[in-house]
């Protein structure tokens, strides 16, 4: 019988052939891989799951790793490949199964910019909040499986040349650059270098409508800048369409903590914007949900009623990106959250423009619904501004993720800073349940948990969280941890700090884990990609429940903290 299993298992494993081609798995940004058969609540346990290998790269990884199954690598055969982009502007292609440590290929896209080349007019201290030391490929690329091309944007500062952003189309089989084009952010005459210095291309790229969409915010609000969304022809990389968040105004960056713009099945594009000018009569839409047509014409928008307060107090709505609820639910809705800690449920067909208060109570129409998903600050530095009536709530940076559980129903997951992992049940009639399922432990500081979901359809759901272990990652590099939860109950199943004594790594801020084909690919700021999986090929076939995780799962102390001033834009 055991021999029969050995003969069958390899074909079972290879038959999964799941690819993750974009940030948070799909254009709707649900963050879910629904074809995962090996990793289940039964197999991901203490003695069965752990780090199985690690791949060295040359710099910090700000981009989510992408996986393509069955790539024909010249001279190497058919491989499952994981693609990794670094802040030194290198892109690596590795064997995703770990059969060799050396990359299948590697390509460099140019010299990255140094953080001290960013202008800071507001005072020297501002630079401690920014990315350092190199600023290269900061966004997650996107892959077109039909043309076998990977699209990536690099920030380039070649000696003696103007600083610029450049988009590349790269063959995923051999790393050859097929096309490249400089990105000229619309500007006043003579400001090309200055605009490129100030703007940061942080959100993941989006491939839709035969176009590659590229969004821009700024380096730590280094005014003047504006939020931009640009569209490039995927075949030629020619610029086809542009959208400015604040024409004639300032700011309104699209950064979304690295989460990409979302797209629906009709090709409409959705973004959430940050602090800046707000004036609908002048089409200025900071701190808003914005719906755009494929050619980036504005279709509709939604803005919270307290938009002025959000701008004044730097509580931008766009600190996380929009997530579209699947059309299979029979609704046209999206969710999003920001620094105010509110989870908004908004109609995609009628977002409703600006929110209005009713009867001076906290009932608002629209949106469809909002929930205060994050806990209040224990102590706020804004408490000396009582006239603004701001008590303070912890921020949400990781975009919500979604899974439709067979036993529980639709669930929306979010993990705010200084708070617990939460799952909000969704109902077609009553919408979001205000009493979430709550997991343990409590997040230690900013940014909370950055989430992904894996499941076998509506069964065997897992929530994966990348997060700081013991410290706040606001202005420093800190040790990270990978945690796994039962997606129905939020019971903790596994945590890298409890089971992996040699698994010390620096947390990659805002980068979600990538789950594919029985493995989990975790970016780090330790110049390596960590890969986790089953220790035994038979673990996935076990049916007997494993022992629960020990009670002291999260009490292991960090003995090797590495503190460096650091800020992720």
Indicate whether 221 pLDDT > 90. no
Report pLDDT for 539: 62
Indicate whether 190 pLDDT > 70. no
Q: Which pair of tokens denotes residue 336? A: 């999003």
pLDDT, tens digit, 9 for 90 and up, residues 298-313? 999 999 988 998 988 8
Report pLDDT for 430: 93
CA distance 422 to 420: 6
Indicate whether 564 pLDDT > 70. no
pLDDT, tens digit, 9 for 90 and up, residues 418-473? 999 999 999 999 999 999 999 999 898 899 999 999 999 999 999 999 999 989 89
Indicate whether 484 pLDDT > 90. yes
Report pLDDT for 541: 59
CA distance 124 to 547: 53
Report pLDDT for 197: 85
Map out the domains of the chain with their CATH numbers: 17-565 (2.140.10.10)
Sheet containing 528-534: give its strands across: 49-56, 528-534, 519-523, 514-516
| Mean confidence (pLDDT) of the chain | 87
pLDDT, tens digit, 9 for 90 and up, residues 334-379? 999 999 999 999 999 987 777 655 443 444 456 789 899 998 875 5
Average pLDDT over residues 262-291: 96
Report pLDDT for 116: 83
DSSP string, 251-262: B----GGGPPPE
CA distance 172 to 150: 6
Phi/psi at 518 (5° precision): 80, 10
Report pLDDT for 447: 95
Report pLDDT for 561: 40
Report pLDDT for 501: 61
Report pLDDT for 38: 97
Report pLDDT for 366: 60
pLDDT, tens digit, 9 for 90 and up, residues 24-49? 999 999 999 999 999 999 999 878 89
CA distance 365 to 345: 11
CA distance 117 to 133: 10
Indicate whether 184 pLDDT > 50. yes
Indicate whether 542 pLDDT > 90. no
Closest to 561 in 3D by CA, of 441, 446, 473, 448: 473
Average pLDDT over residues 269-279: 96
Please, what's the largest Cα pairwise distance for the chain? Answer: 75
CA distance 271 to 413: 19
Indicate whether 386 pLDDT > 80. no
- The confidence band for 565, taking pLDDT boundaries of 50, 70 and 90, is very low
- The confidence band for 382, taking pLDDT boundaries of 50, 70 and 90, is very low
Report pLDDT for 376: 84
Percent of the chain with pLDDT over 70: 83
CA distance 312 to 151: 36
Report pLDDT for 388: 44
Determine contact, residues 395/375, Cβ cutoff 8 Å. Answer: no
Q: Which pair of tokens denotes residue 6? A: 């050995």
Indicate whether 16 pLDDT > 80. no
Sheet containing 177-183: give its strands across: 142-144, 149-156, 164-171, 177-183
Distance of CA 458 to the CA centre of its chain: 23
Q: Which pair of tokens denotes residue 10? A: 């390899």
User: How many other CB atoms sit within 10 Å of the CB of residue 531?
Assistant: 21
Average pLDDT over residues 108-130: 75
More confident call, 116 vs 161: 161
pLDDT, tens digit, 9 for 90 and up, residues 127-175? 667 788 999 999 999 999 999 999 999 999 999 998 999 999 999 999 9
Q: Which pair of tokens denotes residue 201? A: 């291309």
Q: Calculate the alpha carbon distances from 6 to 1, 10, 191 in Å.
A: 9, 7, 63
């Amino acid at each position: 019988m055991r021999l029969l299993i050995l003969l069958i298992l390899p074909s079972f494993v290879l038959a999964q052939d799941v690819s993750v081609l974009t940030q948070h798995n799909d254009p709707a940004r649900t963050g879910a891989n629904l074809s995962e058969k090996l990793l289940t609540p039964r197999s991901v346990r203490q003695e069965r799951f752990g780090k199985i290998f690690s791949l060295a790269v040359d710099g910090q990884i700000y981009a989510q790793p992408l996986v393509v199954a069955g790539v024909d690598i010249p001279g190497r055969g058919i491989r499952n490949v994981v693609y990794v982009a670094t802040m030194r502007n290198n892109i690596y292609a590795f064997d995703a199964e770990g059969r060799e440590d050396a990359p299948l290929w590697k390509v460099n896209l140019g010299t990255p910019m140094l953080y001290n080349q960013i202008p800071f007019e507001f005072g020297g201290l501002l630079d401690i909040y920014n990315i350092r030391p190199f600023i290269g490929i900061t966004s997650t690329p996107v892959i077109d499986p039909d043309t076998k091309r990977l699209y990536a944007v690099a920030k380039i500062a070649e000696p003696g040349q103007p600083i610029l952003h450049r988009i590349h189309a790269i063959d995923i089989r051999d790393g050859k650059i097929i096309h490249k084009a400089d990105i000229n952010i619309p500007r006043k005459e003579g400001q090309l270098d200055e605009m490129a210095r100030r703007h940061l291309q942080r959100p993941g790229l989006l491939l839709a409508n035969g176009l590659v969409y590229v969004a821009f915010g700024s380096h730590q609000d280094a005014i003047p800048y504006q939020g931009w969304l640009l569209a490039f022809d995927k075949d030629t990389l020619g610029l086809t369409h542009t959208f400015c968040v604040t024409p004639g105004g300032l700011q309104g960056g699209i950064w979304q903590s690295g989460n990409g713009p979302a797209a629906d099945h009709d090709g409409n594009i959705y973004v959430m914007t940050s602090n800046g000018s707000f004036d609908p009569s002048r089409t200025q839409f900071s701190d808003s949900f914005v719906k755009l047509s494929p050619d980036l014409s504005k279709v509709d928008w939604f803005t919270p009623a307290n938009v002025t307060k959000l701008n004044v107090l730097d509580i931008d709505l766009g600190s996380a990106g929009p997530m579209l609820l699947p059309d299979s639910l029979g609704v046209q809705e999206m969710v999003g959250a920001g620094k105010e800690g509110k989870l908004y449920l908004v109609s995609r067909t009628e977002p409703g423009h600006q929110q209005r208060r009713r009867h001076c109570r906290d009932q608002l129409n629209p949106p469809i619904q909002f929930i205060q998903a994050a806990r209040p600050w224990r102590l706020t530095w804004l408490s000396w501004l009582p006239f603004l009536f701001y008590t303070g709530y912890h921020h949400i940076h990781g975009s919500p993720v979604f899974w439709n559980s067979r036993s529980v129903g639709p669930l929306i997951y979010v993990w705010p800073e200084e708070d617990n992992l939460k799952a909000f049940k969704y109902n077609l009639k009553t919408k979001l349940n205000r009493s979430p399922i709550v997991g343990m432990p409590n997040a230690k500081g900013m940014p909370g948990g950055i989430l992904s979901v894996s499941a076998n359809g509506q069964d065997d759901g897992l929530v994966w969280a990348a997060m700081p272990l013991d410290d706040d990652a606001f202005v420093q590099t800190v040790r990270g941890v990978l945690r796994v939860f039962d997606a129905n109950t939020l019971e903790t199943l596994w945590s890298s700090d409890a089971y992996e004594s040699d698994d010390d790594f620096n947390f990659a801020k805002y980068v979600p884990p990538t789950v594919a084909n029985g493995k989990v690919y975790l970016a780090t700021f330790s110049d390596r990609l960590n890969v986790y999986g089953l220790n035994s090929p038979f673990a996935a076939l076990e049916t007997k429940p494993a022992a629960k995780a020990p009670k002291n799962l999260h009490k292991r102390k960090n003995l090797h903290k590495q503190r460096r001033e650091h800020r992720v834009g």
